[in-house]
Amino acid sequence: MANDDAERGGFVPATDVDASQAATTTTSNHAERGGLVSATTEPEGAVAAAPVGHRPLNAERGGFVPATPSSSRHYILRVLRVYERAESSELMWRVEGDTVRFSAFCSDTFEWGTADAENIEEADLELLERTLDDLQAADHYGDVYISELFSARKRGMRPMNRFMQIISEPAVHALFEQAGPERPSTFLAP
């Protein structure tokens, strides 16, 4: 368990939580900073409370959906090696018991003002590794887009037009164009 320490901008260990509590509290960075939404879950799985001002992320809008957790050492090491090679910090994870879930951070890639992440399942490992190889072949600094291109490829969706405009390297831009059809501009995805 962790608490969002707004003053320091990160996580600190929870020290005042009694281990015998029946509810589990999941907390992450505030949605406006690109994090996930906090909620308290009762043992039956019902959401007991949500913080004021937060909207639960909706899977139908492409929001965060819990990944299938894995305890496979092979899976964990392959994901970490990709992000180490890319020198990227856009990897999110959640540890529950002896299982780990990884997600690629892709907020403000497909829509403005959204906290978004794409799950990295064991079945996605080849796609994740191939994405990094393609980015590194396209440009020396292309690997900074590992999370965004992986997410675009997995969703079969090109990022919003505004995001596409910031990619200056033509070979990297072409990789994103191949991820999916051009999208019309909307209020949330100009």
Residue 5 CA to residue 11 CA, distance in Å, equals: 6
Is the predicted pLDDT of residue 154 greater than 90, yes or no?
A: yes
| Other beta carbons within 10 Å of 94 | 15
Q: How many domains does the chain have?
A: 2
Range of the domain at 103: 59-190
Is the pTM above the cut of 0.75? no
Whether 36 and 70 map to the same domain: the answer is: no
Task: Extract the tokens encoding 165.
Answer: 């405009």
Interval 49-100: pLDDT, tens = 333 333 334 444 444 445 555 668 899 999 999 999 998 889 999 998 888 9
Task: Extract the tokens encoding 107.
Answer: 């907020």
Alpha-carbon distances of 6 from 43, 81, 120, 185, rounded to whole Å = 28, 30, 28, 34
Last residue of a domain, one of 56, 79, 95: 56
Residue pair 118/154 in contact by the 8 Å Cβ criterion: yes
Q: How many residues would you count in the chain?
A: 190
Whether 119 and 74 map to the same domain: the answer is: yes
Whether 40 and 74 map to the same domain: the answer is: no
Residue 101 CA to residue 163 CA, distance in Å, equals: 27
Higher pLDDT among residues 62 and 105, named by residue: 105
pLDDT at 75: 93
pLDDT at 187: 77
Own/partner pairs, 46-55, CB within 8 angstroms, 24+ separation = 48/23, 55/31
Residue 72 CA to residue 75 CA, distance in Å, equals: 5
Whether 42 and 94 map to the same domain: the answer is: no
